[in-house]
A and B are shown apart, each in its own frame.
Chain A
Amino acid sequence: MGIICFLSCYVLALIFEGVRVSRKSAVLGWLALGTAGLGGFVHIAYLMARSGKSGLPPLMASSHDWLLVLALITLITYLILQIWNKQFSFGPFMLPAVIMLVGASTYVQQSAVTSTETPRFWVMLHVSSLVIGFGAVLMSFILSLMYLVQHQRLKSKQLSDNGLILPNLERLATKNRYAVFVMVVFLTVGMFSGIGLVFSSGKTIDLKWQDPIVLGYSVVWLFTMGIFAWFLRSKQQLSKQVAFLSSWALGFVLVTVVGLLVLSKYTSSLTSLHG
């Protein structure tokens, strides 16, 4: 019930943003922000209620909570960016991501995979790094999409007079570079803190190295390192090719990560410690 409440708010906010694209209106912009903000409060209340029930903070709980935390971080980022840059249209790109994450969270494991005995520091470090890292993956994906849309409009000489106003290409490319950097740092910390968690927890965590999520994440980590290396080597950061390839690559990463979490709940062959 709680999820439906805040999910509805996000969908309504997206509708306001969609209408705002076709007709410029400051009122619609504020309505979208207000509705999304309201959804955010309900979202936080939901996470706090679950945390109270399980006795664990959301980041120590289940895949369901992790995805909701990621959705919340994305929402807060949208609110901050939109308030700070009123003239741009972030909603049509970021709100669908928030909605999809919230939707995906209903298909993953809802029970906690850790307990109060699990070393808290390592779990928090591991999960929070991964959540921030994947948040950066998501941002980079969104920024790449925005770049491609803006690029197409400029190429076809259609900077139209509707409400879809995007930052310039150079700015999008620069922010994308920062997002990729954050992604690499935090996914690496997440990866190695996971190893640290296993070694420090002793017998409280029975992790098998063939765990599908662990294997999947390891492949994803290697893949993102590859993207980063290619990024560094690209001569032209401000180019459509960079945006095109990073949007595809990072889209693949996101689908893989969320897909693994969903599949591990429903497929016995993919049973994982992570749920």
Chain B
Amino acid sequence: MYCTHETADLNIREKLAFTSPEQYAYAYREFKSQYPSAEAVFLSTCNRVEIYVAGEDPENVPSSQELARFFSEIHQVPLDDLLDTLTDEPDVRAVQHLFRVASSLDSMVLGEAQIVNQVKTAYETAQENNATGPLLHSLFQRALSVAGKVRTDTKLSEGRISIASVAVGEFAGSIFNTFSDKQVVVIGAGEMAEETLLYLKDKGVQNLHVVNRTEANAKKIVDSWHGNVQIHHLEQLDDVLVKADIVVSTLGTDKPFLDVDRMKPIRKASDERTLFLLDLGAPRNITSDVGQLDDNIFLYNINDLEQTCQRNRKARSVEAEKATGIVIQAVETFQHEIYHRTTGPIVKRLREHWHDISRQELERLTNKLDHLETKDRDEIERTIERIVNKLLHPPLEEIRSQSKQGTPHSLLETVKKLFHLHD
């Protein structure tokens, strides 16, 4: 059962999210106390909250209504608020969903690399809380393996597709080799500035200057920054730019505030050092002629980066088809294995039971008819075996057929009752 960025807005997802190890531990404790024989894994990311449950006996596994109530109770969210946002996928659809999620086919950013680690962490957390069992072990281990296969056999994760990641990863990465010794200036403190900071952090930036109209907003976006950070007012911008190697401008203005006349003295003071200027403002913050001021300025705006993003997005969607094929194949294989695991023992017992009966009756017959020759006895034995196999064929075929849609619990129970196949 789950809700994602496609089915629920951020408000609901935030309320249902698991944000700390203590919250996970509490949730697992509550789940195990209510459903001691069921297995569970909770997966919570910024774009989804999901709960996977499994059990050998379907009667011990919570239904979708029970799961919704469970969510409601542990997060103290009214059940009515959740009912339209939660989606329920049973059996093989749950397997397919998890394989797609782990392979980043269900992500907001197709092919993003973080989700597989998030799935792995969720699985490990469930293990630490003793909430998993053989079914979810198999399922999650297989999901991680499928994600690995998608990553190696397709180019789904190649090519960056967000403006900030293209700017930092592809363009800045084509200019600078190391970022830890570079002076990075971020102008503005909005969402785009925050997103760019994430990519700069990944690149190892240590020296950060944030320039903004208000100090308070600037402080918010550098809350979790590890490294040197200085906050400056917009009036100090020119002095800060003299030392800059990378400048990311994200200010919301109605006209550009950095032009050639302003940049000339700054460039002179900086000995025309190599400068990467990233203008993510809309309308633009920097006039385009600044890029022509000298040979060592590299100026990019949103339009320049969008082309690369679109090309990468197109490439990813082609790869998504390949990845989907891999997932479908993996689901079929997994289903086949689970079918054997759940139905195998019952099918085996049924066959053995019937063949035992046929052997006992054959022995009784041959004892009574001791005048029979060996070849006659063999022929009778073969005939009885054919009769047993033909009689067994319809129920076994039905079990196999129903297994394609998921474990046929009720059919298996019926078979056990009809033929007295006790555990």
Q: Which residues of A lie under 8 Å from residue B274 when comparing CB positions?
A: 169, 236, 238-239
Q: Which of B170, B173, B178, B295 contacts A239 (CB 8 A)?
A: B295
Residues of chain A with a CB closer than 8 A to B291's CB: 155
B300 lies within 8 A of chain A by Cβ: yes
Q: Which residues of B contact A166 (CB under 8 A)?
A: 174
Chain A residues in 8 Å Cβ range of B93? none
Given contact pairs A159-B171, A170-B176, A239 touches B296 in the complex (Cβ within 8 A): yes
Q: In whole angstroms, how far apart are the Cα atoms of A150 and B175 in the complex?
A: 9
Counting contact residues on chain B (CB < 8 A from A), the size range is: 20 to 34
Please list 16 pairs of residues, one from A and one from B, whose beta carbons are closer than 8 Å in the complex, sorted by A's number. Answer: A150-B174, A154-B171, A154-B174, A155-B295, A155-B298, A157-B300, A159-B171, A159-B174, A167-B177, A168-B173, A171-B177, A236-B272, A236-B274, A238-B274, A239-B274, A239-B295
Q: A155-B295, A235-B271, A236-B274 are in contact. Are A161 and B171 (CB under 8 A)?
A: no
Contact B170 A159 (CB under 8 A): yes
Task: Determine if A200 is an interface residue (Cβ-Cβ < 8 Å).
Answer: no
Q: Which residue numbers of A lie inside 8 Å of B, CB to CB?
A: 150-151, 154-155, 157, 159, 161, 166-171, 174, 235-236, 238-241
Q: CA of A203 to CA of B173 in the docked complex: distance in angstroms?
A: 59
Q: Which residue of A lies closest to B291 (CB)?
A: A155
Residues of chain A within 8 A (CB-CB) of B298 are: 154-155
Q: Which B residues fall within an 8 A CB radius of A?
A: 170-171, 173-178, 271-274, 291, 295-296, 298, 300, 304, 308, 311
A161 and B311: CB pair below 8 A? yes
Q: In chain B, what residue has the closest Cβ to A244?
A: B295
- Determine if A240 and B296 form an interchain contact, defined as CB atoms under 8 angstroms apart: yes
The CA-CA distance from A239 to B295 in the complex, in Å, is 8
Q: In the complex, A161 Cα to B304 Cα: how many Å?
A: 14
Residues of chain B with a CB closer than 8 A to A157's CB: 300, 304
Residues of A within 8 A of B273 (CB): 236, 238
**Nearest chain-A residue to B175 (Cβ)?**
A169
Contacts of A174 in B (CB 8 A): 177
B182 and chain A: residue at smallest CB distance: A170
Select from chain B the residue with minimum beta-carbon distance to A237.
B274
In contact, A170 and B171 (Cβ under 8 angstroms): no
Q: Nearest-CB distance from B248 to chain A (Å)?
A: 17
Q: Using Cβ atoms and an 8 Å threshold, which residues of chain B touch A240? A: 295-296
Instruction: Give the residue among B170, B272, B296 with the most A Cβ atoms within 10 A.
Output: B296
User: A168, B296: Cβ atoms under 8 Å?
Assistant: no
Task: Given contact pairs A151-B295, A236-B272, enumerate 15 new A-B contacts (beta carbons under 8 Å).
Answer: A150-B174, A154-B298, A155-B298, A159-B170, A159-B171, A159-B308, A167-B177, A168-B174, A169-B174, A169-B175, A170-B176, A170-B178, A235-B271, A236-B273, A238-B273
Tell me, in angstroms, the Cα distance from A171 to B170 when the chains sit together: 15
A-B pairs, top 5 by smallest CB distance, nearest first, are: A170-B177, A240-B295, A171-B177, A238-B274, A157-B304
